[in-house]
Structure 1
């Protein structure tokens, strides 16, 4: 039996050296299942790396990640150790193990900050936050981290193939953040907590002006201020809405609300909305 095992090992290594992937997979499947750790130490870093790739292709991500880790452990200074690290980040992300994906991507950036794959590592780190945005409910910590990481890709690697995708995802994450503020603002508005609602809509108008939620935020401000009897603020919100988003259905709703109280959408008073009107409509930023 010992002679048979030695013979199989010799055949397996010959198959690896010859680069015949199908035969290598078939031979590995039998022998290495019983004596895996010892056999890995007899292989070159490329052979272990290729085997990890094969496991990844078949969908065995746990085994692929383990083998990529073995490349790093056994041959830490090899070119394949560097490749294995970035592939571990990719494999973890494919398995939706975002925390480990980020950890591997960050290790790659720490060890190889000037490498040609650094842009991809930063992108993987960013989308590991981005892909969790819809899972976090009202906790927007991951959304802020996604925005920060995506901005790093855009600013540090503007000519990379990942910059364009990062810009798109940044805009969507930014819009998502505004959407969460709107969601909470509507919640307060429906329950008559007008001051709390106004604070949320104000954040959208002041900090998320470029998002798709701004027209509705201005309309909800008209509703909330009218409910509190603050007509100057309501009229000013309607004026901003009419100037920038006159084609929006929210403007017609606000116009009808104001008209119903014999009011016009016009800038009045000296509050924060008057400052927004001065900046946005008149262009006076100082």
Structure 2
């Protein structure tokens, strides 16, 4: 009995494969349409794990979507075409196709879902913070557009969380760039010290990300970069640069009087005061 059942299943499978191949290789656009939609809906019922049916549906969709643009079936096909890429994890193409759907069918009942999935496609395409963040900026823009357009939208809470996560990634990258200047402070580029670049970068970082958890570190590294820049200067320039470092220390001390890095800064301040006394003599 088990053998009979197995043979029956294989025969059904082969029949299904044969019908799919005939639709794929044939010239009947209507059959391609029906097969593509059937495969897509079956894959939707079984979940994202059934990628085989999504891939089969995609091969058919690639053939029929252009044939139905501007026709009544075009809206449905355009959405499932974009969503098939999304389900397969091809987020560059799903983002593009959802954008195209939104432009072509702005009043569609699935317009909100398309706008959100477009933004989420860019979110998934965002690389780790050490790499170029063009996709991250695009994702934030798309998510913000969705949030503004659908203030009571179905996906609003998730969109806000995703946007927050991406902003934190940009924040981390900005901090690490400033830290890189600091770590390479002894280098000079076109006569400009990397410590100077670090001071400017940390200054911009503090302005751009006022609520950042890296705020204390940013104030400390800004002070320390100026201190190290000053003590490496010519004697004629050292006093003014040390005095500027003292001002940065005052700001650090004001906001973080008992901060984890304040003690290290105070040790540097002892050296700064001693150097200033010697220079004044």
Q: Which runs of 5+ in 1 are unaligned?
A: 1-22, 264-286
The SS at the match of 2:137 is helix
Count of aligned residue pairs for this structure pair: 235
Q: Distance in 2 between matches of 1:66 and 1:136?
A: 34
Q: For residue 203 of structure 2, what is the aligned residue in structure 1?
A: 202
- Give CA deviations for 1:217-275 in whole Å, capped at 9, x if unaligned: 222212222223332432243045328xx6xxxx2312441255249xxxxxxxxxxxx
Q: Distance in 2 between matches of 1:111 and 1:126?
A: 17
User: CA shift at 1:49, angstroms?
Assistant: 0.8
Q: For residue 59 of structure 1, what is the aligned residue in structure 2?
A: 51
1:115 aligns with 2:108: yes
Give the 4+ runs in structure 1 shifted more than 6 A. Answer: 23-26
Which of 235, 241, 260 is the equivalent residue of 1:252?
A: 260
Q: Distance in 2 between matches of 1:132 and 1:217?
A: 29
Q: TM-score, normalised by structure 2?
A: 0.71
Q: Which runs of 5+ in 2 are unaligned?
A: 1-10, 186-193, 231-241, 272-281
Q: Distance in 2 between matches of 1:137 and 1:94?
A: 27
Q: Distance in 2 between matches of 1:27 and 1:115?
A: 37
- Give CA deviations for 1:190-241 in whole Å, capped at 9, x if unaligned: 1212111122222221111233332322222122222233324322430453
Q: TM-score, normalised by structure 1?
A: 0.70
1:186 aligns with 2:191: no
The answer to whether the 8 Å contact 2:178/2:198 transfers is yes
Q: For residue 276 of structure 1, what is the aligned residue in structure 2?
A: none
The SS at the match of 1:32 is helix
User: CA shift at 1:180, angstroms?
Assistant: 0.6
Instruction: Note closer, same or farther for the CA distance 1:97–1:47 as it changes in structure 2 (3 Å cut).
Output: closer
Instruction: Note closer, same or farther for the CA distance 1:138–1:115 as it changes in structure 2 (3 Å cut).
Output: same
Q: For residue 224 of structure 2, what is the aligned residue in structure 1?
A: 223
User: CA shift at 1:99, angstroms?
Assistant: 2.1
Q: CA RMSD in A?
A: 3.0
Deviates more, 1:79-88 or 1:212-221: 79-88
